[in-house]
Amino acid sequence: MASPDFYGEYKAFLPLFLKQKYLRVWDYGYKAEKALSSIRSLNLLRYLNMSHSNIEVLPESTTCLVNLQTLKLDYCHHLHTLPKDMKQMKNLRVIALHSMENVLEGLQPNSNLKKLCISCYRGSKFSTWMKDLLLPNLVEISLENCRSYEHLPPLGKLPHLKVLVLTGSEFYGDGTIVFPSLESLELCDMTNLEEWRIVNGKESFPHLSTLLIAGCSRLEEFPIIPSVTSFTIRRSNAKLLCSVKNLTLLSFLAIEDFNKLTLLPDVLLRNHKMLVSLRIYYLCELESLANQFNSLSALKYLEISYCNKLQSLPEGIQKLCCLQSLHILCCYRFASFQMFGFGGLSSLRKLWIEKCEAFCSLSEGIQYLTALEELCLDKCPELISLPEGIRHLTNLRTLQL
């Protein structure tokens, strides 16, 4: 239930709202302080949003909301005191504190808290309850743009932590982190991060499956983490690409937004016999994909987008016998498939070529795409005819020109 736009209407309806004992969701809006004294009557409330309000003190009566699961206090810049017994709110799962550096120390949620997001914190030290690991049941942590703190809390010791997102931060570890349950890790816009290493003799990240590195311009390599199956690398140091060869269990790989890269490292895709999906996106200077597809025997999905200088695909694409979907989008100089045609792509079901302004012809080898069901040749102004071999595509169901 959203707050009325006008304060007069708000005052008129407030007593009525406070009598709704079955109310589950309430967005107080900017006049939250007017109702705080009577909030204890809403003991079935599940979701409470007091963001952007002028409250200075969150009253002790808030802890009577024993069924509350989500509490949002974003941009409450005057708030300086939180209830002492918040840890008694056993059902509280999510607390949002965007730009709320003044209350972090006073906030100690119940130990059952599952998700914690701290954004734009400007203090140099985290709260003692974070450093002392008093939230052992945390499953997801997001630290966004906390640029001033000196040390990352020992998050690696949290036994149930599965998702960790670090954005815009420069952090220092304590050398003992292991992350026994972590499944997803995102490192974003960490422009000062230069080194990431794992202490010898310690098994770190044993269950990590999803890794994203974006905007880490100084980081040149990352440690070997054999369990990773999904990796996205975006807008970072190109030297990081050489570390990809060590992720031998990858099933998904996305390489995005490397504007100055003309060639991919030869070793990039040599050890990825389990790779199923490959996405190459916004490599504006990329000129060739030579020697990249020879070992990808399990690849099913290939997308190449916004590679403006790429003119053709290498002959090695014929070895992608399991490829089911090929999508080429906004590669403005991509003109045609080379003379080798489509031999070997007997599993291909979808072929999409979109917004490739120079694309002018399909190979006669298209007749070998016997499993093809969808063919899209959209916004390719130089394409004036289709090859005769298209008649042999008996499984073709969709043709889009």
Contact 375, 397 (CB under 8 A): no
Residue 38 has pLDDT above 70, yes or no: no
6 pLDDT above the threshold of 60: no
Backbone angles phi, psi at 26, to 5 degrees: -145, 125
The count of other CB atoms within 10 Å of the CB of residue 36 is 17
Instruction: Say what the pLDDT of residue 9 is.
Output: 52
Would you say 306 and 280 are in contact if contact means Cβ atoms under 8 Å apart?
A: no
Give the pLDDT band of residue 107 (cuts 50, 70, 90).
low
Look at 366 and 299; give whichever has higher pLDDT: 299
Question: What integer is the mean pLDDT of 274-285?
Answer: 96
In the chain, % of residues over pLDDT 90: 34
Instruction: Give the distance from CA 63 to its chain's centroid.
Output: 34
Cα(315)–Cα(205) distance, integer angstroms:
38
Reported confidence tier of residue 54, pLDDT bands at 50, 70, 90: confident
pLDDT reading at 236 higher than 60 = yes
Three-state helix/strand/coil letters over the chain: CCCCCCHHHHHHHHHHHHCCCCCCEEECHHHHHHCHHHHHHCCCCCEEECCCCCCCECCHHHHHCCCCCEEECCCCCCCCECCCCHHHCCCCCEEEEECCCCCCCCCCCCCCCCEEEEECCCCCCCCHHHHCCCCCCCCEEEEECCCCCCCCCCHHHCCCCCEEEEECCCCCCCCCCCCCCCCEEEEECCCCCCCCCCCCCCCCCCCCCEEEEECCCCCCCCCCCCCCCEEEEECCCHHHHHHHHHCCCCCEEEEECCCCCCECCCCCCCCCCCCCEEEEECCCCCCECCCCCCCCCCCCEEEEECCCCCCCCCHHHHHCCCCCEEEEECCCCCCECCCCCCCCCCCCCEEEEECCCCCCECCHHHHHCCCCCEEEEECCCCCCCCCHHHHHCCCCCEEEC
Task: For residue 220, give both structure tokens.
Answer: 């040149």
Q: Give the tens place of pLDDT for each residue, 133-185.
A: 678 888 998 888 776 666 677 788 888 999 999 887 655 455 555 788 999 99
**What type of residue is 158?**
L
CB 367 within 8 A of CB 343: no
Structure confidence at residue 4 (pLDDT): 45
Give pLDDT, residue 271.
85
Q: Over the stretch 115-129, which tens digit does the pLDDT of each residue have?
A: 888 777 766 667 777
Q: How far is CA 180 from the centre of its chain?
A: 21
What average pLDDT does range 37-64 have in this prediction?
Answer: 81
CA pair distance 34, 182, nearest whole angstrom: 42
**CA torsion angle for 308, 383, 324, 255 (degrees, to 10)?**
0
User: For 80-107, what is the mean pLDDT?
Assistant: 73
Give yes or no for a contact between 48 and 68, defined as CB atoms under 8 angstroms apart. yes
Ramachandran angles phi, psi of 151, nearest 5°: -135, 140
pLDDT band at 267 (very low <50, low <70, confident <90, very high): confident
For 190-228, the pLDDT digits (tens) are 888 888 877 665 668 889 999 999 999 999 999 889 999
Top-confidence residue, 113 or 177:
113
**Spatial distance between the Cα atoms of 224 and 375, rounded to a whole number of angstroms:** 40
Q: How far is CA 236 from the centre of its chain?
A: 15
Q: Give the length of the chain.
A: 401
Cα–Cα dist 107/95, whole Å: 10
pLDDT digits (tens, 9 = 90+) for 303-320: 999 999 998 888 888 889
User: Does residue 12 surpass a pLDDT of 60?
Assistant: no
Confidence tier at 2 by pLDDT (50, 70, 90): very low
For residue 99, the model assigns a pLDDT of 61
* Cβ neighbours around 368 below 10 Å, total: 20
